[in-house]
Amino acid sequence: VSARTLPATRPLNKERKWVGKSIRRIEDPKFLRGRGNYIDDLRVDGMLHAALVRSPYPHATIKNIDAEEARSVPGVVAVVTGAEALELADPLPDFGPAPEKHTWRCLAAEKVRYVGEGVAAVVATSRYVAEDAADLVTVEYEQLPPVVDPEQALEPGAPLIHEPLQSNVAYERVFTFGDVDRDFAEADVVVADTGDDEDNLVVVLLSKKKSKARCIARVNNPANKTIFESLDPDDPVTVISSTELILDVLNEHVNASKYRSMLETMHLFGKGNMQLVKVAIPAQSPIADKTIAELNLPHNSVVVAIDRPDRDLEIPNGDTRLRAGDSMIVIVKNGAAERIRTLLTTP
Protein backbone atom coordinates (compact mmCIF):
# COMPACT_ATOMS: atom_id res chain seq x y z
CA VAL A 1 0.00 0.00 0.00
CA SER A 2 1.42 3.32 -0.98
CA ALA A 3 0.43 5.78 1.67
CA ARG A 4 -0.64 9.23 0.62
CA THR A 5 2.50 11.29 0.03
CA LEU A 6 2.66 14.90 1.03
CA PRO A 7 3.27 17.51 -1.63
CA ALA A 8 6.49 19.44 -1.36
CA THR A 9 5.97 22.72 0.44
CA ARG A 10 6.54 25.92 -1.43
CA PRO A 11 7.61 29.10 0.30
CA LEU A 12 4.82 31.65 0.64
CA ASN A 13 6.40 34.65 -0.99
CA LYS A 14 3.64 37.19 -0.59
CA GLU A 15 0.51 37.89 1.34
CA ARG A 16 -2.49 36.38 -0.42
CA LYS A 17 -5.81 38.17 -0.66
CA TRP A 18 -8.22 35.25 -0.38
CA VAL A 19 -6.50 31.87 -0.15
CA GLY A 20 -5.85 30.80 3.41
CA LYS A 21 -7.88 33.67 4.87
CA SER A 22 -10.98 33.52 7.01
CA ILE A 23 -13.58 35.46 5.02
CA ARG A 24 -16.72 36.91 6.59
CA ARG A 25 -19.75 35.49 4.80
CA ILE A 26 -21.93 38.12 3.18
CA GLU A 27 -25.15 36.38 4.18
CA ASP A 28 -24.44 36.23 7.91
CA PRO A 29 -25.78 39.60 9.12
CA LYS A 30 -29.38 38.75 8.23
CA PHE A 31 -29.13 35.49 10.17
CA LEU A 32 -27.47 37.24 13.10
CA ARG A 33 -30.28 39.80 13.16
CA GLY A 34 -32.94 37.09 13.04
CA ARG A 35 -34.02 37.97 9.51
CA GLY A 36 -33.21 34.65 7.85
CA ASN A 37 -36.70 34.34 6.38
CA TYR A 38 -37.10 30.58 6.62
CA ILE A 39 -40.15 28.72 5.27
CA ASP A 40 -41.77 29.08 8.69
CA ASP A 41 -41.39 32.86 8.44
CA LEU A 42 -43.34 33.18 5.20
CA ARG A 43 -46.72 34.87 5.48
CA VAL A 44 -49.23 35.00 2.65
CA ASP A 45 -52.76 36.37 2.58
CA GLY A 46 -55.35 33.76 3.48
CA MET A 47 -52.65 31.33 4.63
CA LEU A 48 -53.97 28.21 6.35
CA HIS A 49 -52.21 25.89 8.78
CA ALA A 50 -51.89 22.12 8.68
CA ALA A 51 -51.43 19.59 11.45
CA LEU A 52 -50.70 15.94 10.78
CA VAL A 53 -52.26 12.90 12.39
CA ARG A 54 -49.34 10.51 12.83
CA SER A 55 -49.00 6.81 13.40
CA PRO A 56 -48.24 5.64 16.93
CA TYR A 57 -47.16 2.24 15.56
CA PRO A 58 -44.02 1.15 13.65
CA HIS A 59 -45.94 -1.23 11.36
CA ALA A 60 -49.71 -1.48 11.06
CA THR A 61 -52.56 -1.71 8.57
CA ILE A 62 -54.94 1.24 8.51
CA LYS A 63 -58.43 -0.26 8.91
CA ASN A 64 -60.50 2.89 9.15
CA ILE A 65 -60.19 6.65 9.64
CA ASP A 66 -63.05 8.63 11.20
CA ALA A 67 -62.58 12.35 10.62
CA GLU A 68 -66.19 13.52 11.02
CA GLU A 69 -65.75 15.09 14.43
CA ALA A 70 -62.58 16.86 13.29
CA ARG A 71 -64.34 18.23 10.21
CA SER A 72 -67.06 19.78 12.39
CA VAL A 73 -64.65 21.90 14.45
CA PRO A 74 -65.12 25.62 13.65
CA GLY A 75 -62.13 26.86 11.70
CA VAL A 76 -61.33 23.48 10.13
CA VAL A 77 -61.25 23.80 6.35
CA ALA A 78 -60.40 20.22 5.36
CA VAL A 79 -59.25 16.86 6.63
CA VAL A 80 -57.35 14.85 4.05
CA THR A 81 -56.74 11.15 4.75
CA GLY A 82 -54.06 9.08 3.06
CA ALA A 83 -56.65 7.41 0.85
CA GLU A 84 -57.96 10.81 -0.25
CA ALA A 85 -54.43 12.03 -0.87
CA LEU A 86 -54.01 9.25 -3.41
CA GLU A 87 -56.59 11.06 -5.52
CA LEU A 88 -55.37 14.58 -4.79
CA ALA A 89 -51.59 14.31 -4.95
CA ASP A 90 -49.10 12.76 -7.35
CA PRO A 91 -46.65 10.18 -6.01
CA LEU A 92 -43.40 11.46 -4.52
CA PRO A 93 -40.15 10.82 -6.38
CA ASP A 94 -39.01 7.31 -5.45
CA PHE A 95 -35.33 6.92 -4.69
CA GLY A 96 -35.68 3.30 -3.60
CA PRO A 97 -34.11 0.26 -5.23
CA ALA A 98 -36.95 -0.39 -7.70
CA PRO A 99 -39.05 2.69 -8.50
CA GLU A 100 -40.99 0.76 -11.15
CA LYS A 101 -42.37 -1.62 -8.52
CA HIS A 102 -42.98 0.86 -5.74
CA THR A 103 -44.71 4.18 -5.09
CA TRP A 104 -44.04 6.69 -2.34
CA ARG A 105 -46.99 8.76 -1.12
CA CYS A 106 -47.11 11.93 0.96
CA LEU A 107 -49.47 10.24 3.44
CA ALA A 108 -49.76 6.54 4.27
CA ALA A 109 -52.78 5.06 2.54
CA GLU A 110 -53.01 1.38 3.39
CA LYS A 111 -50.41 0.79 6.05
CA VAL A 112 -47.90 2.67 8.15
CA ARG A 113 -44.22 1.77 8.15
CA TYR A 114 -42.75 3.83 10.96
CA VAL A 115 -43.80 5.61 14.13
CA GLY A 116 -44.76 9.14 13.14
CA GLU A 117 -45.74 8.46 9.52
CA GLY A 118 -48.56 10.81 8.55
CA VAL A 119 -51.96 9.23 7.97
CA ALA A 120 -54.12 12.37 7.70
CA ALA A 121 -53.68 16.12 7.44
CA VAL A 122 -55.97 18.64 9.08
CA VAL A 123 -56.12 22.10 7.52
CA ALA A 124 -57.51 25.00 9.57
CA THR A 125 -57.41 28.74 10.01
CA SER A 126 -54.87 28.50 12.82
CA ARG A 127 -52.31 25.99 13.99
CA TYR A 128 -54.07 25.74 17.35
CA VAL A 129 -57.37 24.75 15.72
CA ALA A 130 -55.62 22.36 13.32
CA GLU A 131 -53.87 20.58 16.19
CA ASP A 132 -57.08 20.43 18.26
CA ALA A 133 -58.91 18.84 15.34
CA ALA A 134 -56.06 16.43 14.59
CA ASP A 135 -56.56 15.06 18.10
CA LEU A 136 -60.19 14.31 17.19
CA VAL A 137 -59.33 12.11 14.20
CA THR A 138 -59.81 8.46 15.13
CA VAL A 139 -57.67 5.92 13.29
CA GLU A 140 -58.26 2.22 13.63
CA TYR A 141 -55.10 0.17 13.14
CA GLU A 142 -54.27 -3.50 12.98
CA GLN A 143 -50.74 -3.93 14.21
CA LEU A 144 -48.18 -5.87 12.18
CA PRO A 145 -44.87 -7.26 13.48
CA PRO A 146 -42.28 -4.47 13.39
CA VAL A 147 -38.69 -4.72 12.17
CA VAL A 148 -36.43 -2.61 14.35
CA ASP A 149 -33.03 -4.16 13.75
CA PRO A 150 -31.23 -3.90 10.39
CA GLU A 151 -29.64 -7.33 10.68
CA GLN A 152 -32.92 -9.01 11.60
CA ALA A 153 -34.49 -7.21 8.65
CA LEU A 154 -32.14 -9.15 6.35
CA GLU A 155 -33.10 -12.57 7.70
CA PRO A 156 -35.32 -14.79 5.57
CA GLY A 157 -38.92 -14.55 6.68
CA ALA A 158 -38.47 -11.12 8.25
CA PRO A 159 -41.65 -9.02 7.99
CA LEU A 160 -41.60 -7.07 4.73
CA ILE A 161 -41.89 -3.31 5.06
CA HIS A 162 -42.53 -2.71 1.35
CA GLU A 163 -44.15 -5.90 -0.01
CA PRO A 164 -43.78 -5.10 -3.74
CA LEU A 165 -40.00 -5.12 -3.31
CA GLN A 166 -40.00 -8.64 -1.79
CA SER A 167 -37.02 -7.62 0.35
CA ASN A 168 -36.00 -5.20 3.07
CA VAL A 169 -32.69 -4.45 1.36
CA ALA A 170 -32.76 -0.91 0.01
CA TYR A 171 -29.34 -0.84 -1.58
CA GLU A 172 -26.47 -3.23 -2.00
CA ARG A 173 -23.10 -2.60 -3.56
CA VAL A 174 -19.54 -3.67 -2.85
CA PHE A 175 -16.93 -1.02 -3.51
CA THR A 176 -13.66 -2.47 -4.79
CA PHE A 177 -10.58 -0.54 -5.79
CA GLY A 178 -7.64 -2.71 -6.83
CA ASP A 179 -6.56 -5.99 -5.27
CA VAL A 180 -5.87 -4.75 -1.78
CA ASP A 181 -5.34 -8.18 -0.23
CA ARG A 182 -2.78 -9.18 -2.84
CA ASP A 183 -0.90 -5.89 -2.46
CA PHE A 184 -0.70 -6.38 1.29
CA ALA A 185 0.35 -10.02 0.93
CA GLU A 186 3.16 -9.19 -1.50
CA ALA A 187 4.46 -6.14 0.32
CA ASP A 188 7.85 -6.33 2.05
CA VAL A 189 7.35 -3.07 3.89
CA VAL A 190 4.23 -1.00 4.56
CA VAL A 191 4.89 2.68 5.13
CA ALA A 192 2.20 4.89 6.64
CA ASP A 193 3.39 8.40 5.89
CA THR A 194 0.47 10.81 5.91
CA GLY A 195 0.10 13.98 7.93
CA ASP A 196 -2.81 12.42 9.80
CA ASP A 197 -2.04 10.03 12.67
CA GLU A 198 -5.46 8.39 12.46
CA ASP A 199 -4.95 7.57 8.78
CA ASN A 200 -1.54 6.15 9.60
CA LEU A 201 -3.02 4.08 12.39
CA VAL A 202 -5.65 2.61 10.07
CA VAL A 203 -2.95 1.68 7.54
CA VAL A 204 -0.87 -0.01 10.25
CA LEU A 205 -3.87 -1.90 11.65
CA LEU A 206 -4.87 -3.07 8.16
CA SER A 207 -1.33 -4.15 7.46
CA LYS A 208 -1.10 -6.13 10.69
CA LYS A 209 -4.30 -7.92 9.72
CA LYS A 210 -3.55 -8.63 6.10
CA SER A 211 0.21 -8.80 5.79
CA LYS A 212 3.45 -9.97 7.34
CA ALA A 213 5.25 -6.90 6.04
CA ARG A 214 7.35 -4.73 8.30
CA CYS A 215 5.50 -1.53 9.25
CA ILE A 216 6.96 1.94 9.34
CA ALA A 217 4.66 4.71 10.57
CA ARG A 218 5.06 8.43 10.75
CA VAL A 219 3.68 9.98 13.93
CA ASN A 220 2.84 13.65 13.72
CA ASN A 221 1.75 14.18 17.30
CA PRO A 222 4.45 12.80 19.63
CA ALA A 223 1.71 12.00 22.18
CA ASN A 224 0.48 9.26 19.82
CA LYS A 225 3.86 7.55 19.67
CA THR A 226 3.14 4.99 22.38
CA ILE A 227 -0.09 3.91 20.64
CA PHE A 228 1.88 2.86 17.58
CA GLU A 229 4.68 1.34 19.62
CA SER A 230 2.35 -0.84 21.66
CA LEU A 231 0.39 -2.21 18.69
CA ASP A 232 2.36 -5.38 18.09
CA PRO A 233 5.01 -6.38 20.67
CA ASP A 234 6.09 -9.37 18.53
CA ASP A 235 6.81 -7.35 15.42
CA PRO A 236 7.02 -3.75 16.56
CA VAL A 237 6.07 -0.91 14.24
CA THR A 238 9.02 1.32 13.43
CA VAL A 239 7.82 4.73 14.54
CA ILE A 240 9.19 7.94 13.11
CA SER A 241 8.10 11.01 15.00
CA SER A 242 8.52 14.12 12.88
CA THR A 243 8.71 16.37 15.93
CA GLU A 244 11.41 14.29 17.56
CA LEU A 245 13.27 14.14 14.28
CA ILE A 246 13.47 17.92 14.12
CA LEU A 247 14.57 18.11 17.75
CA ASP A 248 17.26 15.51 17.09
CA VAL A 249 18.58 17.49 14.15
CA LEU A 250 18.68 20.63 16.27
CA ASN A 251 20.47 18.78 19.06
CA GLU A 252 23.01 17.43 16.67
CA HIS A 253 23.84 20.68 14.93
CA VAL A 254 23.44 23.17 17.71
CA ASN A 255 25.81 22.40 20.51
CA ALA A 256 27.25 25.56 21.90
CA SER A 257 25.12 26.76 24.76
CA LYS A 258 24.89 30.33 23.46
CA TYR A 259 23.26 29.17 20.23
CA ARG A 260 20.99 26.88 22.14
CA SER A 261 19.64 29.77 24.16
CA MET A 262 19.20 31.73 20.94
CA LEU A 263 17.16 28.90 19.50
CA GLU A 264 15.03 28.81 22.62
CA THR A 265 14.45 32.51 22.15
CA MET A 266 13.39 31.87 18.56
CA HIS A 267 10.53 29.71 19.83
CA LEU A 268 9.15 32.81 21.50
CA PHE A 269 8.55 34.40 18.12
CA GLY A 270 5.54 32.18 17.73
CA LYS A 271 3.80 34.30 20.34
CA GLY A 272 5.03 37.78 19.57
CA ASN A 273 4.88 40.24 16.72
CA MET A 274 8.52 39.68 15.84
CA GLN A 275 9.98 37.89 12.88
CA LEU A 276 13.32 36.37 12.07
CA VAL A 277 14.54 37.12 8.55
CA LYS A 278 17.61 36.10 6.65
CA VAL A 279 19.23 38.74 4.41
CA ALA A 280 21.74 37.51 1.83
CA ILE A 281 24.55 39.86 0.83
CA PRO A 282 25.41 39.41 -2.86
CA ALA A 283 28.72 40.33 -4.48
CA GLN A 284 27.81 43.86 -5.59
CA SER A 285 25.84 44.63 -2.45
CA PRO A 286 26.18 48.23 -1.23
CA ILE A 287 26.56 46.92 2.30
CA ALA A 288 29.41 44.51 1.65
CA ASP A 289 32.53 45.63 3.54
CA LYS A 290 30.49 47.85 5.87
CA THR A 291 30.31 47.31 9.61
CA ILE A 292 26.95 46.62 11.19
CA ALA A 293 27.05 49.97 12.99
CA GLU A 294 27.41 51.70 9.61
CA LEU A 295 24.19 50.17 8.33
CA ASN A 296 22.06 52.49 10.48
CA LEU A 297 19.32 49.88 10.81
CA PRO A 298 15.96 51.04 12.13
CA HIS A 299 15.73 50.76 15.92
CA ASN A 300 13.10 47.98 15.74
CA SER A 301 15.54 45.53 14.23
CA VAL A 302 18.60 43.67 15.54
CA VAL A 303 21.22 41.64 13.69
CA VAL A 304 21.56 38.50 15.78
CA ALA A 305 23.83 36.30 13.70
CA ILE A 306 25.99 36.21 10.61
CA ASP A 307 25.95 33.08 8.49
CA ARG A 308 29.29 32.94 6.73
CA PRO A 309 30.03 30.23 4.17
CA ASP A 310 32.07 27.32 5.57
CA ARG A 311 32.00 28.77 9.06
CA ASP A 312 30.03 28.44 12.20
CA LEU A 313 27.29 30.98 12.89
CA GLU A 314 28.87 34.14 14.25
CA ILE A 315 27.32 36.43 16.84
CA PRO A 316 28.17 39.93 15.63
CA ASN A 317 28.68 43.26 17.33
CA GLY A 318 28.65 46.76 15.88
CA ASP A 319 32.21 46.45 14.60
CA THR A 320 31.63 43.20 12.74
CA ARG A 321 32.40 43.80 9.09
CA LEU A 322 30.12 42.21 6.50
CA ARG A 323 31.36 40.46 3.42
CA ALA A 324 29.81 39.53 0.12
CA GLY A 325 28.39 36.04 0.41
CA ASP A 326 27.40 36.47 4.07
CA SER A 327 23.83 36.15 5.25
CA MET A 328 22.57 38.22 8.15
CA ILE A 329 19.95 36.87 10.52
CA VAL A 330 17.87 39.82 11.67
CA ILE A 331 15.03 40.13 14.15
CA VAL A 332 12.43 42.64 12.96
CA LYS A 333 8.98 43.76 13.94
CA ASN A 334 6.35 42.01 11.86
CA GLY A 335 5.61 43.65 8.55
CA ALA A 336 8.97 45.41 8.44
CA ALA A 337 10.82 42.44 6.97
CA GLU A 338 10.42 43.47 3.36
CA ARG A 339 11.45 47.05 4.14
CA ILE A 340 14.63 45.86 5.84
CA ARG A 341 15.45 43.54 2.97
CA THR A 342 15.05 46.38 0.46
CA LEU A 343 17.05 48.76 2.62
CA LEU A 344 19.94 46.32 2.77
CA THR A 345 20.05 45.01 -0.77
CA THR A 346 19.35 47.99 -3.02
CA PRO A 347 22.04 50.59 -3.71
Partner 1 sequence: MNVPIELTVNGVRHQAEVEPRMLLVDFLRERLNLSSVHIGCEHGVCGTCTVQMDGKCIRSCITFTPQANGSEVTTAEALADGPQLHPLQDAFWEKQALQCGYCTPGMLMVCEELLRDNPRPSAEEVRERISSNLCRCTGYQFIIEAVMHAAAHYGEGPAAQIAEVTR
Instruction: Give 136-171 as a DSSP string.
Output: T-EEEEEE------HHHHHSTTPPPSSGGGTSS---
Question: How far apart are the two ends of the chain, measured CA to CA in Å?
Answer: 55
Distance, in Å, from the CA atom of 72 to the CA atom of 51, rounded to the nearest integer, reads: 16
By CB under 8 A, residue 45 contacts partner 1: no
Considering the complex, state which of residue 40 and residue 87 has its C-beta at the smaller distance from partner 1: 40
Residue from 12, 21, 40, 176 touching partner 1 (CB under 8 A): that is: 40
The helix (H) or strand (E) run that includes residue 76 is strand 76-81
24 binds partner 1 (CB under 8 A): yes
Q: Which is nearer to partner 1, 40 or 151 (CB)?
A: 40
Nearer to partner 1, 32 or 268 (CB): 32
Q: Least distance from C-beta 23 to partner 1, angstroms?
A: 9
In angstroms, the CA 235 to CA 207 distance is 12
* 169-198 residues near partner 1, rule: CB under 8 A: none
Residues 77-136 binding partner 1 (CB under 8 A) are: 127-128
271 counts as binding partner 1 under rule CB under 8 A: no
Q: From residue 210, how far is each of 1, 174, 199, 201 by CA, in Å?
A: 11, 19, 16, 14
Span 3-22, contacts to partner 1 by CB under 8 A: 22
Backbone angles phi, psi at 311, to 5 degrees: -135, 165
Q: Which is nearer to partner 1, 41 or 252 (CB)?
A: 41
Q: Please identify which residue in 18, 38, 95, 171 interacts with partner 1, judged by CB under 8 A.
A: 38
State which of residues 32, 44, 148, 268 lies at the interface with partner 1 (CB under 8 A): 32
Q: Which of 29, 164, 272, 286 binds partner 1 (CB under 8 A)?
A: 29
- Rounded CA-CA distance 302/332 in Å is 7
Closest CA to 50 of 114, 106, 113, 94: 106
Nearer to partner 1, 38 or 177 (CB): 38
Helix (H, G, I), strand (E, B) or coil at 216: strand
Which residue from 41, 87, 100, 198 is in contact with partner 1, where contact means CB under 8 A?
A: 41
Q: Is residue 28 within the footprint of partner 1 (CB under 8 A)?
A: yes
Q: How many CA atoms lie within 13 A of 8 on its CB side?
A: 2
Which residues of this chain interact with partner 1, rule CB under 8 A? 22, 24-25, 28-38, 40-41, 127-128
